[in-house]
Amino acid sequence: MLKNRGITFKLISLLLTGSMLIFALIFKYNYELTKKIILKNAEDNAKHIAAIAVNKIEGVLNIVERINQHTAFYMESVPQTKEKLHVRLRNVIENNREIYGAAISFEPHTIDKELKYFAPYYFRSADTLKYRALGGENDNYFNQDWYAIPMALGQPVWSEPYFDPDAQIIESTYSVPFRDNTTGGRFIGVVSADVDLSWLHETVASVKMFKTGYAFLISKNGTILTHPNKELIMNESIFSIAETMSDKNLRAIGKAMIRSETGFKQIKGFGTTGKSEKLWLFYMPLKSEGWTLGLIVPNDELLSDIITLHEKVIALVAAGMLFLSIFIASISASITRPLRRLAAATKDIARGSFDDCKLSHPKTKDEIGELTSSFIYMKSALREYIRELTETTRAKEQIESELKIAHDIQMSFLQKLFPPFPERTEFDLFAAILPAKEVGGDFYDFFFIDETHLCFLIADVSGKGVPASLFMAMTMTLLKAHTAAGLSPNEILFNVNAKLAKDNSVSMFVTIFYGILDIETGDVVFASGGHNPPLLYRKDTSELIPLECGGIVVGIMEEDIVFDKGLITMQNGDFIVMYTDGVTEAINDLEQEFTEERLGRLITENHDKPISELVLQIIEDVKHFSGTQPQFDDITLMILQYNSKKIQEL
């Protein structure tokens, strides 16, 4: 009988079914690969077409930029009179068809001490050149974007396109600020040029792909400047269309476009038909203006050939599969029946429904029978394994939850709001910590002892994890409790050491650098409990000086320990870099340490950066240096920069 035959015989029969599956996978792979190639070619083609259009548009706008920048240079280089300004503006309009209108606008009482407003403006009207003086109580150009923005930024700016009701055209203004070099570069005005954007529609409309593909242009704020649907121009933006369609994908693409990115993405609308359809959008920025060109390609047209080809292949394959299925059905029936029972049992086991999984002991001794016996055994073993795994997982989740709470509590001890004293201009301070585990032993602190003395410290507890975090909390508490006006840092470390060393059965210790800054004089009194010497950077001499001071680690010896006292005077711009050994002893893939020398070079090369950027730069360099090596120790950095009060008063 067939049921007594070996599993080998049955598997040979089932190979025919397997061949159908293999063919289907090959077909699917071929379809996806072909589609990928077509999309890549379409993207390259769209990129080429868009680049031509972008270069053409930028070519026109770059002419305007160069003309305006040259005029601004002319204003700064040559003494001006009102007559010269009028001649210059007329020449700009007459000799440059790209420019609709041009103005040179001055700050109040600059070119004429009796005039608050002076801004001659020449513009085209039909075939003639007209003049209008800008300014007045009802025409305050100082508040206009084309004047205020370049003045504030100190650099040339293209305005957001707008509709000019007088000229009945869409314009964009390119503005360049200019200065009076005879008075130290004081800002005195703006050179502006208005560009009629009517030609953009024809230029963009000429860009096409396939039969119904088209291009459009948006401004740097997403406003539609050109589009086959004229009702959208200056009335809609890519974001308003995304909002109307409730399309998050289109909204994300719009953000990428105004960030001047390039991409090729699929969208479900934005066509001229008003229907929701699959489209491909290629977008490329106009760098200097901040505008973006979009190129729409219909999905059906893009994939029409491959869809037609695969529809025919699918029809042929379906007919062949039907014939093959009829042939195999008569042979495989007796084989698939017990396998279906095992498959159903497998689903029950996968869902954890062990009671619903009912398998009777096999009556045959072939491979199916042995497999059934194995399933029965697996069911019993798996039930027990899942029970044990559930208990283990529950315990692990509880531990992870407690560690997370411990981490949050530990981080709450540290001040993370910078600048910590915004009303204080005599110094600047920034710190950061990166624990090696959920909880660690590094910490830093800073606080005022009185109105003129700032206490600052950094420390590293031996060990890691929960014990180190508890020792850290106790050390922080003792340091604050023993800090009082009149006590020097070495006396404070002496008192804290006595408390920590008493009954220290776990033999844990902490390294501490403790300093007190007199913000009026720049004097810093400090002491060290075996900590890495901080580095003092002298701004005037570019020297990097280690602040070394005698003293052993805190908390390990209860006897009277002597901590030396150090004294330095910080000048304006000097800063102290404090760190733990997690920085200098970080290991890379070659088992090399980061070292104090590498840290010193990094500080010297980046000394002119703000201290917050310098801290983050050092941490990033340590992480990059370590490569794939896991972080084995906490990384903590703090920088204190002194800003002399005397210099500020001057």
Is the distance from CB of 445 to CB of 414 less than 8 angstroms? yes
Among 47, 190, 49, which Cα is nearest to 107's?
190
Cβ atoms within 10 Å, residue 10: 21
DSSP code of residue 221: T
Q: Taking the CB of residue 198, how many other CB atoms lie within 10 A of it?
A: 12
Rounded CA separation 82/63 (Å): 25
Q: Answer yes or no: is 381 within a domain.
A: no
**Tokens matching residue 213:** 């593909």
Residues 521, 554 within the same domain: yes
488 has a pLDDT exceeding 80 = yes
Q: Where does a domain end: 278, 302, 326?
A: 302
Whether residue 37 is predicted with pLDDT greater than 70 in this model: the reply is yes
| 3-state secondary structure (DSSP) of residue 447 | strand
Q: Are 267 and 250 in contact (CB under 8 A)?
A: yes
- How confident is the model at residue 324, as a pLDDT? 60
pLDDT at 456 over 90: yes
How would residue 235 be classed by pLDDT, with cut points 50, 70 and 90? confident
Give the pLDDT confidence score for residue 271 in this predicted structure.
52
Q: Quick one: 441 and 584 in the same domain?
A: yes
186 is a domain residue: yes
For residues 169 and 260, membership in a common domain is answered with: no
* Lowest-pLDDT range of 272-276, 530-534, 553-557, 582-586: 272-276
- Spatial contact of 550 and 562, defined as CB atoms under 8 Å apart: yes
Nearest to 432 by CA among 642, 255, 622: 622
Q: Are 577 and 535 in contact (CB under 8 A)?
A: yes
Residues 91 and 237 in one domain: no
Tokens 């390990």 correspond to 556
Domain count within the chain: 3
Q: Which residues pair with 157 in a beta bridge?
A: 175
The DSSP bridge pattern shows strands 575-579 and 535-538 to be: antiparallel
> Which residues on neighbouring strands pair with residue 536, listed in sequence order?
545, 576
The residue ranking higher by pLDDT, 445 or 33, is 445
* pLDDT higher than threshold 70 for residue 242: yes
**Which among 226, 181, 178 has a CA at the least distance from the CA of 203?**
226
Q: Please, are residues 622 and 583 in contact by the beta-carbon 8 Å criterion? A: yes
CB–CB of 572/644 below 8 Å?
yes
Backbone angles phi, psi at 494, to 5 degrees: -60, -45
Asked whether the predicted pLDDT for residue 96 surpasses 60, the reply is yes
Given 287, 302, 317, the domain boundary residue is 302
- What pLDDT score does 621 carry? 96
Arithmetic mean of pLDDT, 229-258: 88
Residues 528 and 555 in one domain: yes
pLDDT digits (tens, 9 = 90+) for 535-594: 999 999 999 999 999 899 998 887 778 899 999 999 999 999 999 999 999 999 999 999
Token digits of residue 92:
């700009």
Task: Specify burial of residue 508 (Cβ count, 10 A radius: 0-12, 13-18, 19+).
Answer: buried
Q: Coil, strand, or helix at residue 471?
A: helix
pLDDT, one tens digit per residue, over 289-332 is 889 998 888 888 777 777 777 777 777 767 766 766 666 666 56
pLDDT tens digits, one per residue of 361-413: 666 666 666 666 776 667 667 767 777 777 776 766 665 555 555 555 656 66
Q: Which residues contact 10 (CB under 8 A, 6 or more apart)?
A: 332, 334, 335, 368
Q: What per-residue confidence (pLDDT) applies to 39? A: 81
Q: In terms of pLDDT, which residue wins out, 313 or 212? A: 212
Residue for token pair 């007459």: 94
Query: Does 525 lie in the same domain as 507?
Result: yes
Helix axis angle, 82-95 to 7-77, nearest 10°: 140
Give the Cα separation of 221 and 361 in Å (integer). 72
**One domain for residues 433 and 569:** yes
Q: Where does the pLDDT of residue 611 fall: very low under 50, low under 70, confident under 90, or very high at 90 and above?
A: very high
Last residue of a domain, which of 140, 170, 196? 196
Within a domain: 22: no
Assess whether 517 and 598 both reside in one domain: yes
Closest CA to 615 of 425, 419, 468: 419
* 500 has a pLDDT exceeding 50: yes
The candidate with the shortest Cα–Cα distance to 462, out of 532, 509, 502, is 509
Q: Which residue type occupies 201? A: H
Q: Where are the beta strands (DSSP E) in 510-587?
A: 510-518, 523-529, 535-538, 543-546, 566-569, 575-579
- Give pLDDT tens digits for 54-80: 888 888 888 899 998 999 998 888 888
**Residue 485 vs residues 140, 382, 413, 519: alpha-carbon distances, Å:** 58, 68, 23, 15
408 domain residue, yes or no = no
Residue percentage of the chain with pLDDT more than 70: 82
What amino acid occupies position 369?
A: G
Q: At what angle do helices 248-258 and 238-245 cross, to 10 degrees?
A: 170
pLDDT in tens, 111-152: 888 889 999 999 988 778 999 988 888 888 998 889 999 999
Q: What is the pLDDT of residue 458?
A: 96
Confidence of residue 2 (pLDDT cuts 50, 70, 90): very low
For Cα atoms 354, 358, 361, give the angle at the middle one, nearest 5 degrees: 125
Rounded to an integer, what distance in angstroms lies between the CA atom of residue 284 and that of residue 287?
Answer: 9
Q: Are strands 523-529 and 510-518 parallel, antiparallel or unpaired?
A: antiparallel
Q: For position 366, what pLDDT does the model report?
A: 66
Q: Give the C-alpha separation, 588 to 590, whole Å.
A: 5
Stretch (H or E) spanning 408:
helix 367-413
Q: How far is CA 340 from CA 13, 199, 329, 535, in A?
A: 16, 70, 14, 74
Residue 352 belongs to a domain = no
Residue 359: its pLDDT value, please?
62
Query: 180-189 contacts: CB < 8 A, separation 24 or more?
Result: 180/76, 180/110, 181/76, 181/77, 187/107, 187/151, 187/154, 188/106, 188/107, 188/110, 189/75, 189/104, 189/105, 189/106, 189/107, 189/110
Residues 186 and 212 in one domain: no
Average pLDDT, the chain: 83
**pTM for the whole thing?**
0.46
pLDDT at 497 over 70: yes
- On whether residue 60 sits in a domain, the answer given is no
- Counted residue by residue, the chain has a size of 650
Report the largest interatomic distance among the alpha carbons of the chain, rounded to a whole angstrom. 117
**Locus of tokens 């503006």:** 89
My answer on whether 501 and 593 are in the same domain is yes
**Where residue 241 sits, what CATH number does that domain have?**
3.30.450.20
pLDDT, position 50: 84
Antiparallel, parallel or unpaired: β 523-529 and 566-569: antiparallel
Is the domain of 501 the same as that of 560? yes
Both 456 and 591 in one domain: the answer is: yes
- pLDDT of 49 higher than 90: no
Q: What is the pLDDT of residue 511?
A: 94
Please tell me the distance from the alpha carbon of residue 607 to that of residue 595, in angstroms, as a whole number.
Answer: 18
Instruction: Measure the CA dihedral 308/309/311/314, to 10°.
Output: 180
Q: Is residue 91 part of a domain?
A: yes
Q: Are 556 and 509 in contact (CB under 8 A)?
A: yes
Q: Is the dihedral of CA 355, 357, 360, 366 positive or negative?
A: negative
Residue 191 forms part of a structural domain? yes
Exposed e or buried b per residue across 87-111, where buried means at least 16 C-beta atoms within 10 angstroms of its C-beta: ebbeebbeeeeebbbbbbbbbeebe
CATH number of residue 441's parent domain: 3.60.40.10
Per the structure, the complete domain to which residue 553 belongs is given by: 414-649
